[in-house]
Amino acid sequence: MDARLVNAALVSPQRVSRAPLHLAQGRIAAAAAVAGGYQVDLRDHLIFPGLINAHEHLHQNAIPPLKSAAPFPNSYAWIAAFQAHFDDPAVIAALSVPKALRHRHGGLKNLLAGTTCVAHHDPWHAALDAADFPVGLLRDYGWSYAPGWRAYGPPIRQSFHATARDRPWLVHLAEGTDATAAAELRQLAEAGCLAANSVLIHGVGMGDADVGRVIAANAAVVWCPGSNLSLLGRTLAPRRLFAAGCLALGSDSRLSGASDLLQELILASEHSDLAAQDLLRLVTTDAARILRLPTVGGLAPGQQADLVIVGDRGGDPYRSLVGIGRGEIRAVVRGGLPMVADADFADWFAACGIQTVSVTLDGKPKLLAKSMADAALIALEPGLGPVDI
């Protein structure tokens, strides 16, 4: 169903503008290309591009986190501590949930928080290819796990060299505050694996010279403040990487990260001097460029019609998104179709032929597309509940 969203402000990192937004065949369309369609009056609303989560482990979001003694000196110490956690009955139960459902749950977690595109950092699973998977995914990329954890994932040099230079290559790096973490960027560069398509997850242990090296290589870092603070007790200083356009934001999974990308934006704001407008760049245009995803992260004609719609809170328009929780989002749109929204958008769902289920999300009544509302899926998501069905 084509649609015309009228009377809202369109907010991208570059500008705030006012014009009808036309959606046709899943894309944002030029006004001249659209005749008719369903009209949605969005006065007193702001439309943002759907958010991009640059680091996630989709299948790990329902596993109880380790309840122990942060800070760890590095992620390897955390992984070692986690081994005993596998005997915890709650962890065993979480891991007994079918993997396909766990991946889909990670997708739903992201969608509910306005994230419509995710970089998943693990082996591909067939569930990710479902036509109705809740979010879009980075698909064509290379990855390794981490320099110090070679038992899992493709070997670093082999994976880097097997990845085309115009596709992103992802690796956890310098996830720590000790000498092990501090050495990893230099080691990566010496191994010949620091290039413009290298996307380094975390980077907390990098020194000033390392940051300069990343910028000189036009490589990038994915900042995951929630995960860093819970595992390591501190996070990185983002200003130089941000100014160079070499920084994106990721949630990581809930094993270590905050509950979703909106909460990571709040942490990023609290732990840096970046303005809300700057932070929007990290989850839209800069992430799209770093992950080589030209059709997402913006509101230009031809881009995917992935949107987050919020109420206008007045003042700085960027603060109408950065600082809110997922329950306060008015609607999340993917491929031009509403997927989760407040109940007064029922007619929009109906016009698109989308069946919905009434749910509560963090205590707020919502409509959720029925394809996302499988009972087993809802049961996995804290804060999401069915309404007497």
Q: Which residues bind Zn ion (CB under 5 A)?
A: 252
Q: How many CB atoms lie within 10 A of CB 291?
A: 25
To the nearest whole angstrom, how small is the minimum distance from the Cβ of residue 191 to Zn ion?
Answer: 20
Q: 252 or 342: whose CB is closer to Zn ion? A: 252
CB burial class (10 A; 0-12, 13-18, 19+) of residue 223? buried
To the nearest whole angstrom, how small is the minimum distance from the Cβ of residue 57 to Zn ion?
Answer: 6
To the nearest whole angstrom, how small is the minimum distance from the Cβ of residue 247 to Zn ion?
Answer: 16
Q: How many CB atoms lie within 10 A of CB 191?
A: 12
Q: 144 or 304: whose CB is closer to Zn ion? A: 144
- Classify the phi-psi angles of 376: left when phi > 0, otherwise alpha if psi is within -120 to 50, otherwise beta: alpha
To the nearest whole angstrom, how small is the minimum distance from the Cβ of residue 37 to Zn ion?
Answer: 40
Strands 51-56 and 329-334: unpaired
Q: 252 or 264: whose CB is closer to Zn ion? A: 252
How far is 236 from 210, CA to CA, in rounded Å? Answer: 12
To the nearest whole angstrom, how small is the minimum distance from the Cβ of residue 78 to Zn ion?
Answer: 11
In sequence order, what are the residues at sequence separation of 6 or more whose Cβ sits closer than 8 angstroms to the Cβ of residue 341? 309, 330, 331, 332, 348, 349, 366, 367
Q: Which residue is nearest to Zn ion (CB)?
A: 252
To the nearest whole angstrom, how small is the minimum distance from the Cβ of residue 178 to Zn ion?
Answer: 18
Q: 268 or 337: whose CB is closer to Zn ion? A: 268
State the first-to-last Cα distance of the chain, in angstroms, to the nearest integer: 28
Strands 21-24 and 3-6: antiparallel
Crossing angle, helix 261-270 and helix 225-232, to 10 degrees? 70
* Inter-residue contact 253 to 266 (CB < 8 Å): no
Q: 201 or 296: whose CB is closer to Zn ion? A: 201
Q: 255 or 299: whose CB is closer to Zn ion? A: 255
To the nearest whole angstrom, how small is the minimum distance from the Cβ of residue 70 to Zn ion?
Answer: 16
How far is 170 from 188, CA to CA, in rounded Å? Answer: 12
Give me the numbers of helices (H) and strands (E) for the chain, helices first please: 13, 21
Q: 224 or 339: whose CB is closer to Zn ion? A: 224
Strands 45-49 and 307-311: antiparallel
Which of 110, 19, 1 minimizes the C-alpha distance to 329? Answer: 110
To the nearest whole angstrom, how small is the minimum distance from the Cβ of residue 148 to Zn ion?
Answer: 14
To the nearest whole angstrom, how small is the minimum distance from the Cβ of residue 55 to Zn ion?
Answer: 6
How far is 68 from 144, CA to CA, in rounded Å? Answer: 27
Q: 210 or 252: whose CB is closer to Zn ion? A: 252
Between the alpha carbon of residue 183 and those of residues 65, 178, 334, the distances in Å are 28, 9, 41
Q: 252 or 286: whose CB is closer to Zn ion? A: 252
